Amino acid sequence: GRPQMMTSWHISDIIGEDEAQNFYNILNQDSFWDDVIKNQDLLYTRNTYSRLVLLMQKYDLYIVTATDYTKSHKLDLFLNLYDCINKDQLILLSDKWLLDADIIIDDKAETLQKFAEKGTRCVKIYHPWNAWYECESYPHFIIAANRLLGEV
């Protein structure tokens, strides 16, 4: 049958525990991330890079990831691709909302919701799994960054 739309962050609720474990096992394979890099949209990557540089001129920018990718080389690939970001700007933290921030850009509705409860400005990168949460929303990072850059 037709694949089901991902409308929840909780993958195991949609595909079951065994398949979710298989999915996460794939994410922990270096070859998966090598393929992601090989198949990237170069124009989008260049535009993202330039927006990161511009945002760093106006804001103290940090990249916070909730997943422990230390077992794979995803973060090394990220730092190589976006060499404008240094390791001091990377934070590995499951409960992102424990950080103090003026603005958060994320795609996980629950994270945005917890930041909003603290009074943080929330910017959502829209996906089907976060459609239920209402806040400032953009279809991708470049448009969100352009909006933020236009305000300063």
Secondary element (H or E) of residue 19: helix 17-27
pLDDT band, very low/low/confident/very high, at 1 (cuts 50, 70, 90): low
| Residue 80 structure tokens | 């190589």
Mean pLDDT of 82-110: 94
Measure Cα distances from 37 to 16, 69, 90, 142 in Å. 28, 16, 19, 18
Express as a percent the part of the chain with pLDDT over 70.
Answer: 93
Whole-number pLDDT of residue 147: 96
pLDDT band, very low/low/confident/very high, at 3 (cuts 50, 70, 90): low
Express as a percent the part of the chain with pLDDT over 90.
Answer: 68
Choose among 59, 54, 67, 45: nearest CA to 111: 67
The pTM of the full predicted model, rounded to 2 decimals, is 0.85
